[in-house]
Amino acid sequence: AKDRRSAMTPAGLAKLWAGLALLFGTVFVFTIPPFQSPDEPNHFLRAWQISEGVWLPEKGDNRLGGTVPASLVQLCDSFAYLKMDYEARLALPQLETARRLALSGHQRVFADFPNTAIYAPTAYLPQAAGIGLCRLAGAGPLAMLYGARFANLIVWILLVWRALLLMPFLRPLMAALALLPASLVIAASANADVITNGLCWWLIASFLAGAGKYHLQIAAFILACLNKLIVLPIGLFPFSLNIKRAGRNLLPAVLLLVAGFAAALFWGQFARAAFIPYDHYAPAYRDAQTLNEGVDPARQLARVATHPFEFTGIALRSAARALPSVAAHIVGKFGWEKNYLHPVWLALLGLCLAALVSTESPLIRPFQRAAAGGIVAVYVFLFALTMYALWCPVGATEVTNFQGRYFTPILPLTMLAVANGRLAAKAKVIRICAATVLILGNLAIIAAIMQRYYW
């Protein structure tokens, strides 16, 4: 059946989105220089570790990471000069040298990747599969990075494509969110959040569709909670959808939430035990890691427990200050640094989203929309708490590291909470304009990537 306000069938929309996502995503896989996505060197090393069947990180001598081929570390280091140096450019001869670098399977070294070592291995299954296939083909380390990126992209596309087919409404808005330049840039990296983002989008669409495939929902939710503990509140959403039904229909929702909680608790305990803060990390290596001085999660959380209102105020003020940059991150950011699309493009993309939000009302009750908004608020609070514990010195007066990519899992719930039909009469024109701007926006970010790294 066709969408009531669109001339395109759900399958047609999903295919069109998937085609555009594959086109632009593949361009991003190969045009963004190696390791110029946030924390990509450490994500790559952790994915390699898992591709060898080593699911748990190595910890010893106050270091956290793993033993990997020396050529992998050499590859990561050879592109480090690009990070945070806006004048640095990638020379094609250097890329050719990296391509010729052979895998030193027998020469191995210990590599530090403390910030990604605490991620569950399930967050790296696509990347590890891509690396493993490249290794079987006899490819070198650089090809393995591209293999990890491309595998991540394919998994993201498949999950979002399926979510678009399941969504009973707001499909064009979801497709637009998934086609944002920043969404595709992060999906085309080796980042651990890509599969989690896709799983959360599929779960939300599946809940709304009432698909009834409870075993798949529970399995997906377990994976998502293992990968990212703070997505647990998403498991509350089915309760709002089933609250008017017979009590027996709540059993799958209860099982899903309990399973997700158990998964989050299980990996959370491991991550807590494995984490080494900056002050306790090996002094000879800690300054090169993504760790901040003065961080102590246990002491920080104890402080929050004794000063909950103080922390709530800090979190609210920090979120308000970070809101403009978070919005820009969600729409049009790439790379490690503050690389954004031109403000005109950010504004155009933002206006398109705002217009699309007003083209259709979600076919759910007001209290269900309120539940979606409440879950978003809880997620943001848990994110702030996590960053405060793992990233900020004890007693800090601000929560830092608010980045838009961290909020991708809850974008579908956000659209459910704010969508309305005020511009429904102009939906067709708005959607055509939005599609045009999104395509041009992706072309613009390709040009921005070339200008930043090559020209």
DSSP letter for each residue of 312-350: HHHHHHHHHHHHHHHHHHHHHEETTTTEE--HHHHHHHH
- How open is the CA angle 113-116-117, to the nearest 5 degrees? 70
- How open is the CA angle 125-79-123, to the nearest 5 degrees? 15
Q: Is the pLDDT of residue 259 over 90?
A: yes
Distance CA 306, CA 230 (A): 22
Distance CA 30, CA 230 (A): 31
Q: Quote the pLDDT of residue 242.
A: 77
Q: Quote the pLDDT of residue 244.
A: 55
Please, what sign has the CA dihedral across residues 369, 387, 50, 144?
A: positive
Residue pair 34/149 in contact (Cβ under 8 Å)? The answer is: no
- Per-residue model confidence as pLDDT tens digits over 57-85: 999 999 999 999 999 999 999 999 999 89
- Per-residue model confidence as pLDDT tens digits over 406-440: 999 999 999 999 999 999 999 999 999 999 999 99
Q: Is the pLDDT of residue 249 over 90?
A: no
Place of tokens 């609250």: 243
Beta-carbon contacts of 168 under 8 Å, excluding residues fewer than 6 positions away, are 208, 209, 363
The pTM assigned to this predicted structure is: 0.95
Element containing residue 207 per DSSP (H, E): helix 193-209
Q: How many residues does the chain have?
A: 455
Q: Quote the pLDDT of residue 246.
A: 46
Ranges of each domain in the chain:
10-274+294-453
Distance CA 412, CA 221 (A): 16
Beta-carbon contacts of 442 under 8 Å, excluding residues fewer than 6 positions away, are 20, 24, 179, 181, 184
Look up residue 293 and give its two tokens.
């001085």
Q: HSE of 322 in the Cβ direction (CA atoms, 13 Å)?
A: 21
58-60 vs 63-69, strand pairing mode: antiparallel
User: Considering the chain, what is the average pLDDT of its residues?
Assistant: 94
- Per-residue model confidence as pLDDT tens digits over 156-201: 999 999 999 999 999 999 999 999 999 999 999 999 999 999 999 9
Look up residue 309 and give its two tokens.
């209102």
Percentage of the chain beyond pLDDT 90 is 91
Q: Quote the pLDDT of residue 243.
A: 64
Q: Is the pLDDT of residue 272 over 90?
A: yes
CA R_g for the chain = 22
Q: Residue 112: what are its φ and ψ, rounded to 5°?
A: -85, 125
Q: Quote the pLDDT of residue 211.
A: 67
- Per-residue model confidence as pLDDT tens digits over 347-401: 999 999 999 999 998 889 999 999 999 999 999 999 999 999 999 999 999 999 9
Residue 7 pLDDT level (bands cut at 50, 70, 90): low
Torsion angle of C-alpha atoms 195, 197, 203, 206, degrees rounded to 10: -100
Residue 278's nearest CA partner among 286, 288, 268, 270 is 286
Residue pair 349/331 in contact (Cβ under 8 Å)? The answer is: yes
Q: Is the pLDDT of residue 3 over 60?
A: no
Burial 59-91 (b: 16+ CB within 10 A, else e): beeebbbbebbbbbbebbebbeebeeeeeeebe
- Per-residue model confidence as pLDDT tens digits over 109-157: 999 999 999 999 999 999 999 999 999 999 999 999 999 999 999 999 9
Residue 5 pLDDT level (bands cut at 50, 70, 90): very low
Distance CA 144, CA 132 (A): 8
Please, what sign has the CA dihedral across residues 40, 41, 46, 49?
A: positive
Distance CA 87, CA 67 (A): 33
Q: Is the pLDDT of residue 253 over 50?
A: yes
Q: Is the pLDDT of residue 344 over 80?
A: yes
Q: Quote the pLDDT of residue 1.
A: 47
